[in-house]
Amino acid sequence: MGVQLTGFDASQQQDMQTFDVLPPGDYLVITTECEQKQTKANDGSAYLNCVDEVLDGASKGRKVFRRLNLWNQNQTAVDIAQRELGAWCKAVGILKPNSTDELCNKPFVITLGVKAGKDQHGNAKEEQVVKGYKPAAGRAAPAAVPGLVAPAAQPAANAPTATAAPATPPWGRKTA
């Protein structure tokens, strides 16, 4: 027997959102969410799960999901994640954040690519990949974004650059 849907009017509903990958290119975004999540491996490894929102263009409002393996048994995965975190920090102008809260709601440009992948059933699918991060300088963020903070001024070309990250990062990477 069917379930009653009295009062439902499909003509009053927006179209379903697609979850297709975004075309390769640069997108003005802000990070709206960040949280540490445990991996399925259940070995003490965790990742930083980030959600970005596209602020302009044909993809305005679309979400981009990033995972940074900052706490992982595989040191290569950690090294890659630390480089990506560093690029994100530089793009928003905060070189020594104490918390991901400092990186959220600040506009930056993310360069996206697409690669071939497989779903959980082994079927071919496209996957979104982050290719790089850039400051939002020169790209105006829409004024109607709640909580949006203007990007920090970029250092002059001859300003000293940040030193290498310490062997043990301040955010407390878990070790084996």
Annotated domain spans of the chain: 21-135
Count CB atoms within 10 A of the CB of residue 154.
12
pTM value surpassing 0.75:
no
Instruction: Give pLDDT, residue 142.
Output: 58
Instruction: Give pLDDT, residue 175.
Output: 38
> 60 by DSSP, 3-state: which?
coil
Stretch 136-158: mean pLDDT: 54
Instruction: Give pLDDT, residue 92.
Output: 97
Please check the confidence at residue 174 and state whether its pLDDT lies above 60.
no
What is the CATH number assigned to the segment(s) 21-135? 2.40.50
- pLDDT band with cut points at 50, 70 and 90 for residue 130: very high
Radius of gyration from C-alpha coordinates of the chain: 19
Stretch 94-104: mean pLDDT: 96
Q: Take residue 91 and report the two structure tokens written for it.
A: 């793009």
Please check the confidence at residue 167 and state whether its pLDDT lies above 70.
no
C-alpha angle 7/15/49, rounded to 5°? 115
Instruction: Give pLDDT, residue 145.
Output: 53
Largest interatomic CA distance in the chain: 73
